[in-house]
Amino acid sequence: MKKICILIVLALLIGNSGSFAQQIVWKEIEPGIWKGIVGKPESYDLLKASGAKPFEEGLLKLAKTGFPLQQDDISASLTDGKVYLQFPLQKEEQLYGFGLNFQTVHQRGKILQLHTDHYGGKDNGRTHAPTPFYVSSKGYGVFINSARYITVYAGTGVRKNSTNPEIAKDRNTDKTWSSRPYSDAVEIIVPATGVEVYVFAGPTTMDAVRRFNLFNGGGVLPPRWGLGFTQRVKSLYTSAEVEKEAAAFEEKGFPLDFIGLEPGWQSKSYPGTFEWARQRYPQPSQFVQQMLAKGIRLNLWINPYVSKEAPFYKSIQPYTGSHTVWVGEVPDFTLPEAREAFMGQLKKDQVDIGVSGYKIDEVDGYDYYLWPDVASFPSGISGEQMRQTFGLLAQRYTNELYRNKNQRTFGLVRASNAGGVSLPYVIYNDYYNHEDFITALINSGTAGVLWTPEVRASKTAEEWLRRFQTVVFSPMAMINAWSSGTKPWSYPEVASQIKELALLRMRMIPYWYSEFAKYHFEGTPPFHGMALEEGFKQEIKKDATNKNLEENPYAEATSKEIKDQYMAGEYLLVAPLFTGQTTRKVVLPKGKWYDFYTGELAGDGEVITVTPGLDKIPVYVKDGGVIPMMPAMMHAPKAGEKVDLEIRYYGTKPGYYKLYDDDGETFNYENGAYSFREIRVIKNAAGNFVGSITDPVKGKPNTVGSVTWKFMSK
């Protein structure tokens, strides 16, 4: 009896507060991807919300390799009713990822709580895409498939049982004392009693990113028109004003592929009715068709919070959450009934009359706007899980409307997460710091998302031009004039430079499109930071001496991160200047780099200082770089339209490029209706460059007209 009592007391004591070591059994589920299960994973997670399925064809093409870490160095426990995870971290190792951060690229030493939110000016885990994925400079990646608020200690905790413990130093006498002693682990808390964990092999950091992207279905391949220029008009514009705006673009010779209508297209907004405002858009169908006839598509702003006056309110009402957002009801998109009502309205009222896509706003935060975590949803998904996945669900099911029509869409969204890699949306926000927008562009490449450093308005013509220069070298070239009403030509002093940039964006569509195809088929993010570039070695300071020990012993000795230059596709290094800057340093990775505009040698694996003038954004091309370009058209080529190519080649190394081609608008590429044509440039016996391109592939779409060559480096 006594024994039983003791056992019961012990069991009660251990109960919730105990810590139970968990054995992780690793299983290779795809080449170079291992899944480990801890405890009993929840039935709802990021991959379930997004519906992402691995892109097998792409994964099979990556090199076979072993488990990238010592399995014994990864441990898990169930502690306090939560999963505690621990991954190894070597001294000279840097970490990238943990979502769409805006101010930092290096994540080692961070404490983050990954939580979907509107970015609030601090890299603390609260962001539009708090993707629980990181990659290491040692060439591997880790993904935690949970729709919970995950806490990450990315190398901060100093464990007593470390096999490589830090030695205590005397701050009184030792100048190498550090307030951040070496931590040998990334430690993670998942507030659930089980979770799936994935490990991605390299061998390079980029390979680990590729495997993650391919595992999530491969990157999105936008329609060609999505890569053209887009203007968002003032909120309360009428159809007549939109038509006038389009005419002004045409008249002034500015390219334009799609116009974004903001809340005023709806009869009511905040909360929305999801039907046209007839006083502003009396004949929606005719209007959309007339715009299409001019080669201009329409993208509609929504936030998915339903007004009582929405025509489908009654049918969706039972399938919405317990709390409202701006008094609009929150659809539980995990339920087919909610999707049918909501998406049915979008289909009938907009998609079926030719609207090309959506901007899905305010699915991220702030806390005061969205439902609180105590909210409940009819499916049983918690407020927290819904917060982490609402953006994914909205993207997934709006995209389905277009898939069902075999038409690609390309829109905007303010929240995403792991699993959203193949969804055709670009993240934007209300924050407007140009420098931080570029850092976000870098981090988008390790967060499985796309990001646009949108241009809205500027205090000066200089700022307008500097911002415009970067948006042209980004996934979506957009002016968001919903409130400002600005046009590309609004700053007359720089209007001609702006026009030139917009035309350059158009000329580069063959390059952008092929780079996005690599995102889809190979998992390579089209926009990414230098850390993913081969030949770019980031110094990680070992025992940096703290020079300021007496004044501030807690100052961190960190290695300098490169967060103001990035790669745009395989060959281009973009080094923006910001307002007030006339000169900057550019870190060129190993090898020779050439000026994009002139073809001249810019440097060879060195740090250069450049003074490009206001009109130029510095762009450098890797040795052997091939950039396919087309004439500066006013709209992206239509499905199947043949376009002449000018193939530019830079440097001296043999040139190679895979030019992607398909119809540009449908999903037929998923059934094989595409080709990659190989472009080569070599030096012949006489010392002259000669270019060649393989023949169009029989039976596949061929949109290439005549080909001319431009050897840029003399």
Residues that bind ligand GAL (CB under 6 A): 262-263, 301, 361-362, 430, 480, 482
Distance CA 443, CA 96 (A): 8
Nearer Cβ to ligand GAL (453/664): 453
Nearer Cβ to ligand GAL (430/534): 430
Return the structure tokens found at 589.
């990775």
CB of 646 to ligand GAL, least distance (A): 36
Nearer Cβ to ligand GAL (430/615): 430
Strand order in the sheet with 655-661: 655-661, 675-683, 689-693
Its sign, for the CA torsion 485, 489, 493, 494, is positive
CB of 369 to ligand GAL, least distance (A): 9
CB of 362 to ligand GAL, least distance (A): 5
Helices (H), 666-710: none
Distance CA 286, CA 282 (A): 9
CB of 525 to ligand GAL, least distance (A): 24
Helices (H), 15-97: 46-50, 56-60
Return the structure tokens found at 426.
């670009």
CB of 428 to ligand GAL, least distance (A): 6
CB of 462 to ligand GAL, least distance (A): 23
DSSP state of 195: E
Nearer Cβ to ligand GAL (367/646): 367
Distance CA 427, CA 119 (A): 11
CB of 263 to ligand GAL, least distance (A): 5
Return the structure tokens found at 120.
């609030």
Nearer Cβ to ligand GAL (362/662): 362
Task: Please list, in sequence order, all residues whose beta carbon lies within 8 angstroms of the beta carbon of residue 43, skipping any fewer than 6 positions away.
Answer: none
Q: How many angstroms separate the Cα of 645 from the Cα of each of 467, 679, 711?
A: 28, 12, 14
Nearer Cβ to ligand GAL (263/523): 263
Its sign, for the CA torsion 578, 583, 589, 591, is positive
CB of 539 to ligand GAL, least distance (A): 38
Please count the other Cβ atoms lying within 10 Å of the Cβ belonging to residue 64: 9
In contact, 331 and 306? CB cutoff 8 Å: yes
Phi then psi dihedrals of residue 452, to 5 deg? -115, 130
Its sign, for the CA torsion 314, 320, 321, 327, is negative
Nearer Cβ to ligand GAL (212/237): 237
Distance CA 668, CA 377 (A): 37
Please count the other Cβ atoms lying within 10 Å of the Cβ belonging to residue 403: 14
Return the structure tokens found at 145.
């498939």
In contact, 519 and 219? CB cutoff 8 Å: yes
In contact, 426 and 475? CB cutoff 8 Å: yes
Distance of CA 629 to the CA centre of its chain: 24
CB of 307 to ligand GAL, least distance (A): 15
Nearer Cβ to ligand GAL (315/433): 433
Please count the other Cβ atoms lying within 10 Å of the Cβ belonging to residue 27: 9
Nearer Cβ to ligand GAL (22/480): 480
CB of 217 to ligand GAL, least distance (A): 27
Nearer Cβ to ligand GAL (307/524): 307
Determine the 3-state secondary structure of 61 from DSSP: coil
Nearer Cβ to ligand GAL (305/620): 305
CB of 412 to ligand GAL, least distance (A): 8
CB of 430 to ligand GAL, least distance (A): 5
CA dihedral 250, 251, 255, 257 (to 10 degrees): -20
Nearer Cβ to ligand GAL (262/384): 262
Its sign, for the CA torsion 51, 316, 379, 367, is positive
Nearer Cβ to ligand GAL (349/364): 364
Phi then psi dihedrals of residue 579, to 5 deg? -45, 130
Peptide bond into 366 cis (omega under 30): yes
CB of 218 to ligand GAL, least distance (A): 28
